[in-house]
């Protein structure tokens, strides 16, 4: 606003760009109001016939109030009339012409205004669409207006905010050497509404905080009292003209997150919504989207000055409307359920005192969904409050299995089982494991339990109808199993979980099938795990949630067996099962659909990454998933996605980013989580630290995974051993690790065998017989139909047989697959074997150099990268450099890769020349 006012006072025109609803009209009006000493006229298009409607809205020489309105049909008359009103082009006497929606003017009159502005005869304040969102018919008009700015004849104010890509670039630019993980970067963009100034302030604030505080607060998003002072003050000024009622409506809409305009108008009133949209604090979630979202920093600024800003008449009106919509069969979103249940929990008189028309069935369904959402947001106290609202309610004798006439509970029956599970999750997250076991028994109250002889028959409902009581028992038993696995205390819970185990035989057997697959995976028995998981996937009588989880386990097993076609088939089956889950979902299961869908798609992504499939496309997919998770404030989901981002960074050799992402994943990991998940997170971070040379920290993390009294498995011990071999390649694998360098074992563990053999093949210390590597790679290659793994096998064979031409060709293959570490390994070994002037060498290096030129070559080398690059350029091997600088070999490999990428060096030999060029450039 101040920038626009300075432009106008200096006699410079201003072009205000924004999508409809961005507040551009309001902004322009405020600009002209800020210059009361200047004469202001407004122009608009004549709708019936060509022409221009001109009205004098302010003249300091006359009494306050609008002047006359007149129509000007011709351009000549319009120019003469407008300039006559001003009389001079000086800042003190120039006429300010306000042209709202200037792109709607006819071509001749628009050109007239632009000419007058270019000549300095008027100061034009024009609003228009952005070039990227303007209709095709108006694109030329928008281009003409923006040309004023391009020709330096006008200032430009862009209200649309930055795109996601530009926003991320700005965050990285401001952060510099400081590192913020992907989730925090998305949280900054979501909180800022795309405002560059706010993005900068939030980024600096996140960097000033320690890592844990930044992750906690920014994903919250901030919470009352944590908004950076300058951001808060700027928001206060922006909201100064809003009434108290409008501000409270803004807070309510922020609590609802993304919302439909029609429903929002029902909650806060159409007039209020229009004012908020016109003001720019409620905007579309994206270009072309009909969904609106309140800017978080604006809402948080309101709460700073008005802690009770979430209450008021709008809230009461909205609550009543939500209950009416739910009763009419309209699906409420998780945030709507959360707002409703929050009000019920806070009311001393109970739900009926807040929403008199609410039924007990509605309370159970909505509060259960609110508990699920609170658990996903890692708010266990809130989740427990919502769940207890359900569990503490009386159960009528005929309420079991009943519900509204048009809808049924997410899990059928009384709906208490789901609430008991969410309460148990919250208690476990708070560390009250025994209480978490005990409360599960309350989920059985009022639930019809099938007789043991009937339990194997399965539910009689159709596949898309609401699940029956047996499915409630299945999901209760599923959570009990997860809780037991995490606690490591099978059968030690109180009678509640034993009642779940004894309630029915068939549902528990289906859960046991899932657990059998899990245990087989932990023992690295991939075929056994695949058999258990596939049998449950194909069991139509099992709950969809269990079958979807079985798909995730089956996909992981197929990945480690190297079965690409089967992995894709399993992934397709999982998508279909998730679609069925969506089809049977109503408002009480919306969050469950999100939770299970995110878990499945994350597991599927991890399975593909485990066998080196999709490394190129994964970052963009992760970015989209993270954006949705942050927008929904599902902090628990961001943990898994951050871990996957760390895995991708490790594969690309970006160890610093990997350490940042996996550290964030550990900080936000929900409790409880399985030992294997925790071990995977910890060992990934330890691997990144080891490559960065921080071996002591890596050792500490590995020791924590294997601490006395800690549950371990063959898989977790293998992960720890892999990290320790990074720290010290001479470490002998313990008996628990597979022996990938024998043909029989390699055929049983093809994925692990090939990746381990590739690591061994890149070393030239002679610790492994080359023929053993060839035999293992050949045996493993015969077991897999995955192209990336077959390429790895080809690399192992080529490296072990000194096939330089194949190594040179594989360099480009691995580049295309996104396997940068192996591409570098191929290149380095081919350099030692090939004549530098051979066609294979020249072709591979030329392609490599052309790709490197645009790949961050202007990034500055770190001190350590420069040291390593200098030694590598002198011809020292990685092992020689590691010995001289007291680093691990893998750390040296990482530094060489980063130095070459930043400098655009085609080979290690090229490093010396690139460094010399860089030094010469700096001296000049």
Residue 837's pLDDT band (cuts 50, 70, 90): low
Cα 260 to Cα 285: distance, rounded to the nearest angstrom = 11
Instruction: Take residue 731 and report the two structure tokens written for it.
Output: 């470490």
Q: What's the CATH class of domain 1-160?
A: alpha beta
Q: 621 exposed, middle or buried (CB, 10 Å; 0-12, 13-18, 19+)? A: middle
Cα 624 to Cα 311: distance, rounded to the nearest angstrom = 34
Helix 820-833 to helix 839-853 angle (10° resolution) is: 140
Q: What is the pLDDT of residues 471-507, one digit of tens each?
A: 777 778 888 888 877 765 434 444 444 555 554 444 4
Cα 549 to Cα 600: distance, rounded to the nearest angstrom = 7
Cα 888 to Cα 693: distance, rounded to the nearest angstrom = 7
User: Looking at residue 610, what is its pLDDT?
Assistant: 87
Greater pLDDT, 162 or 500: 162
Omega before 253 within 30 of 0, i.e. cis = no
Helix 635-652 to helix 590-610 angle (10° resolution) is: 10
Q: Is the pLDDT of residue 88 over 60?
A: no
Would you say how long the chain is, in residues?
924
Q: How far is CA 683 from the centre of its chain?
A: 22
Cα 123 to Cα 372: distance, rounded to the nearest angstrom = 56
Q: Report the range out of 8-17, 133-142, 661-670 with the highest average pLDDT.
A: 661-670
Omega before 804 within 30 of 0, i.e. cis = no
Q: How many beta carbons lie within 10 A of that of residue 388, not counting itself?
A: 19
Cα 763 to Cα 890: distance, rounded to the nearest angstrom = 10
Give me the helices (H) in 240-311, please. 244-255, 261-268, 270-279, 296-305
Q: Which of 259, 263, 299 is nearest to 279 (CA)?
A: 299
Which residues of the chain are in CATH 3.40.50.300 domains?
Answer: 1-160
Contacting residues for 374 by C-beta, under 8 A, at least 6 apart: 338, 380, 382, 383, 386, 426
Strands 69-72 and 13-17, sheet pairing: unpaired
Phi-psi region of 363 (alpha: psi -120 to 50; beta: other; left: phi over 0): alpha
Q: Which of 391, 376, 372 is nearest to 446 (CA)?
A: 391
Q: Is the pLDDT of residue 850 over 60?
A: no
Helix 635-652 to helix 360-376 angle (10° resolution) is: 30
**Residue 824 DSSP label:** H
Cα 669 to Cα 686: distance, rounded to the nearest angstrom = 17
Tokens 């890509």 belong to residue: 165
Q: Is the pLDDT of residue 437 over 80?
A: yes
Q: How many beta carbons lie within 10 A of that of residue 792, not counting itself?
A: 30
Cα 443 to Cα 447: distance, rounded to the nearest angstrom = 8
User: Looking at residue 241, what is its pLDDT?
Assistant: 82
Query: Please, how many CA atoms are within 13 Å of residue 643, restricted to the half-sphere of its CB?
Result: 26
Contacting residues for 207 by C-beta, under 8 A, at least 6 apart: 175, 178, 180, 214
* H/E element, 54: strand 52-58
Are 386 and 341 in contact by the 8 Å Cβ rule? The answer is: yes
CA distances from 628 to 22, 238, 251, 298, 597 (A): 22, 28, 21, 21, 12
Cα-based angle 900, 901, 902 (whole degrees, multiple of 5): 95
Instruction: Take residue 735 and report the two structure tokens written for it.
Output: 């008996």
Residue 838's pLDDT band (cuts 50, 70, 90): low
Q: What is the pLDDT of residues 163-186, one digit of tens each?
A: 677 778 778 878 877 788 899 888
Q: What is the pLDDT of residues 640-685, one digit of tens each?
A: 999 999 998 888 778 889 999 999 999 888 877 777 788 889 999 9
Instruction: Pick one of 1.10.3470, 3.10.100, 1.25.40, 3.40.50 as the CATH number of 508-667.
Output: 1.25.40
Strands 123-128 and 69-72, sheet pairing: unpaired
Are 625 and 649 in contact by the 8 Å Cβ rule? The answer is: no
Q: Which of 415, 410, 336, 404 is nearest to 596 (CA)?
A: 410
User: Looking at residue 559, what is its pLDDT?
Assistant: 93
CA distances from 507 to 457, 463, 472, 504, 536 (A): 10, 17, 9, 6, 12
CATH architecture of 863-922: Orthogonal Bundle (1.10)
Q: Report the range out of 48-57, 104-113, 793-802 with the highest average pLDDT.
A: 793-802
pTM metric for this prediction:
0.72
Greater pLDDT, 432 or 709: 432
User: Looking at residue 341, what is its pLDDT?
Assistant: 94
Cα 52 to Cα 73: distance, rounded to the nearest angstrom = 6
Which residues of the chain are in CATH 1.25.40 domains?
Answer: 508-667
Strands 52-58 and 69-72, sheet pairing: antiparallel
Residue 686's pLDDT band (cuts 50, 70, 90): very high
CA distances from 923 to 910, 912, 918 (A): 20, 17, 9
Residue 550's pLDDT band (cuts 50, 70, 90): very high
Residue 453's pLDDT band (cuts 50, 70, 90): very low
Q: Which of 437, 551, 416, 548 is nearest to 483 (CA)?
A: 437
Cα 784 to Cα 777: distance, rounded to the nearest angstrom = 11
Tokens 């998508």 belong to residue: 575
3-state DSSP of 691-749 = HCCCHHHHHHHHHHHCCCCCCCCHHHHHHHHHHHHHHCCCCCCCCCCCCCCCHHHHHHC
Residue 740's pLDDT band (cuts 50, 70, 90): low
Instruction: Take residue 615 and report the two structure tokens written for it.
Output: 């490394």
Alpha-carbon torsion (376, 381, 382, 384), positive or negative: positive
Q: Which of 266, 270, 191, 263 is nearest to 232 (CA)?
A: 191
Residue 455's pLDDT band (cuts 50, 70, 90): very low
Cα 238 to Cα 106: distance, rounded to the nearest angstrom = 33
Are 54 and 95 in contact by the 8 Å Cβ rule? The answer is: no
* Burial letters 708-744, b for 16+ CB under 10 A, else e: eeeebbebbbbbbbbbbbbbebeeebeebbbbbbebe
Cα 287 to Cα 160: distance, rounded to the nearest angstrom = 9
Q: What's the CATH class of domain 224-311?
A: mainly alpha
Q: What is the pLDDT of residues 185-236, one digit of tens each?
A: 888 888 887 777 788 888 888 887 755 444 444 444 434 446 788 888 888 8
Mean pLDDT along residues 620-645: 88
Cα 475 to Cα 459: distance, rounded to the nearest angstrom = 14
3 state DSSP class of 861:
coil
Q: What is the pLDDT of residues 499-538, one digit of tens each?
A: 555 544 444 678 888 889 999 998 889 999 999 999 999 9
Cα 94 to Cα 8: distance, rounded to the nearest angstrom = 9
Tokens 């006072």 belong to residue: 9
Contacting residues for 412 by C-beta, under 8 A, at least 6 apart: 401, 466, 467, 468, 469, 471, 472
- DSSP states of 208-244 as a string? HS-HHHHHHHHTT---TT-S-HHHHHHHHHHHTTS-H
Alpha-carbon torsion (82, 83, 84, 88), positive or negative: positive
User: Looking at residue 548, what is its pLDDT?
Assistant: 92
Which residues of the chain are in CATH 1.10.10.10 domains?
Answer: 863-922
């Amino acid at each position: 606003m101040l920038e626009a006012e300075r432009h106008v006072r200096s006699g410079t025109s201003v072009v205000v760009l924004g999508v409809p609803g961005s507040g551009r009209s309001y902004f322009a009006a405020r600009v002209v109001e800020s210059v009361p000493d200047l004469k202001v006229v407004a122009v608009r298009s004549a709708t019936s016939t060509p022409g221009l409607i001109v009205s004098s809205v302010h003249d300091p020489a006359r009494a306050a109030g609008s002047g006359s309105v007149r129509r000007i049909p011709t351009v000549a008359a319009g120019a003469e009339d407008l300039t006559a009103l001003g009389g001079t082009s000086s800042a003190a006497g120039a006429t300010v012409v306000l042209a709202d929606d200037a792109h709607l003017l006819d071509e001749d009159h628009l050109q007239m205004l632009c000419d007058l502005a270019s000549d300095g005869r008027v100061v034009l304040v024009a609003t228009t669409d952005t070039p990227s969102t303007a209709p095709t018919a108006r694109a030329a008009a928008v281009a003409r207006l923006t040309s004023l700015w391009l020709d330096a004849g006008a200032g430009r104010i862009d209200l649309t905010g930055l795109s996601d890509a530009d926003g991320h670039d700005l965050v990285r630019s401001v952060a510099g050497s400081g590192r913020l993980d992907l989730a925090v970067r998305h949280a900054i963009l979501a909180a800022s509404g795309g405002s560059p100034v706010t993005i900068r302030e939030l980024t600096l604030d996140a960097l000033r905080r320690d890592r844990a505080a930044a992750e906690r607060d920014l994903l919250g998003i901030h919470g009352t009292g944590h908004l950076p002072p300058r951001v808060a003050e700027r928001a206060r000024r922006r909201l100064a003209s809003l009434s108290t009622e409008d501000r409270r409506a803004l807070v309510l809409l922020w609590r609802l997150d993304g919302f439909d305009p029609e429903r929002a108008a029902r909650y806060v009133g159409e007039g209020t919504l229009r004012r908020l949209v016109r003001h720019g604090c409620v905007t579309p979630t994206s270009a072309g989207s009909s969904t609106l979202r309140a800017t978080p920093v604006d809402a948080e600024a309101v709460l700073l000055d008005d802690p009770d800003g979430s209450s008021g008449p709008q809230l009461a009106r909205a609550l009543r409307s939500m209950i009416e919509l739910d009763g009419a069969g309209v699906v409420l979103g998780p945030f709507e359920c959360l707002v409703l249940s929050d009000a019920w929990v806070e009311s001393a008189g109970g739900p009926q005192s807040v929403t008199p028309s609410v039924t007990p069935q509605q309370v159970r369904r909505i509060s259960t969904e609110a508990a699920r959402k609170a658990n996903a947001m890692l708010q266990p106290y809130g989740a427990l409050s919502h769940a207890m609202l359900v569990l503490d309610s009386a159960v009528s004798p005929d309420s079991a299995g009943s519900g509204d006439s048009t809808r049924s509970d997410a899990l059928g029956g009384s709906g208490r089982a789901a609430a008991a599970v969410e309460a148990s999750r919250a208690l476990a997250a708070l560390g009250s494991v025994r209480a978490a076991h005990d409360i599960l028994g309350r989920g059985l109250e009022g639930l019809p339990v099938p007789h043991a002889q009937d339990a194997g028959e399965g539910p009689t409902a159709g596949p898309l109808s609401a699940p029956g009581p047996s499915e409630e028992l299945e999901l209760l038993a599923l959570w009990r199993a997860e809780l037991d696995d995490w606690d490591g205390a099978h059968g030690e819970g109180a009678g509640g979980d034993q009642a779940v185990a004894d309630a029915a035989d068939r549902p528990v057997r289906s859960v046991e099938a899932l657990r059998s697959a899990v245990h087989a995976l932990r023992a690295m028995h991939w075929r056994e795990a695949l058999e258990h998981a596939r049998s449950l996937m194909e069991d139509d009588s099992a709950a969809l949630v269990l079958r979807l989880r079985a798909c995730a386990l089956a996909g992981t097993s197929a990945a480690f067996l190297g079965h690409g076609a089967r992995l894709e088939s399993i992934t397709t089956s999982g998508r279909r099962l998730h679609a069925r889950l969506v089809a049977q979902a109503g408002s009480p299961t919306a969050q469950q659909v999100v939770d299970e869908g995110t878990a499945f798609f994350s597991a599927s992504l991890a399975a593909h990454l485990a066998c080196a499939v999709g490394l190129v496309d994964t970052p963009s997919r992760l970015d989209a998933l993270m954006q949705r998770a942050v927008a929904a404030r599902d902090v628990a989901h961001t943990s898994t996605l951050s871990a996957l981002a760390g895995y991708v960074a490790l594969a690309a050799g970006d160890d610093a980013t990997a350490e940042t992402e996996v550290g964030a994943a550990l900080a936000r990991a929900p409790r409880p989580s399985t030992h294997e998940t925790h071990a995977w997170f910890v060992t990934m971070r330890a691997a990144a630290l080891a490559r960065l040379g921080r071996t002591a920290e890596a050792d500490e993390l590995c020791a924590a995974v294997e601490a006395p009294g800690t549950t371990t498995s063959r898989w977790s011990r293998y992960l720890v051993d892999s990290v320790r071999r990074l720290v010290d390649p001479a470490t002998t694998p313990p008996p628990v690790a597979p022996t990938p360098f024998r043909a029989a074992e390699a055929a049983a563990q093809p994925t692990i065998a090939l990746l381990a053999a590739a690591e061994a093949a890149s070393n030239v210390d002679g610790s492994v017989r080359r023929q053993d590597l060839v035999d293992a790679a050949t045996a493993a290659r015969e077991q897999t139909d995955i192209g990336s793994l077959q390429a790895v096998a080809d690399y192992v064979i080529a490296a072990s047989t000194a096939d330089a031409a194949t190594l040179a060709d594989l360099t480009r293959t691995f580049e295309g697959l996104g396997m940068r570490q192996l591409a570098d390994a191929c290149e380095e070994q081919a350099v030692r074997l090939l004549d530098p002037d051979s066609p294979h060498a020249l072709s591979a290096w030329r392609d490599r150099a052309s790709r490197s030129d645009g790949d961050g070559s202007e990034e500055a080398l770190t001190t350590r990268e420069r040291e390593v690059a200098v030694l590598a350029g002198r011809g020292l091997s990685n092992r020689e450099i590691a010995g001289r600088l007291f680093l691990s070999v893998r750390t040296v490999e990482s530094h060489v890769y980063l130095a070459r990428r930043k400098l655009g060096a085609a080979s290690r030999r090229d490093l010396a020349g690139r460094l010399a060029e860089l030094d010469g450039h700096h001296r000049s």
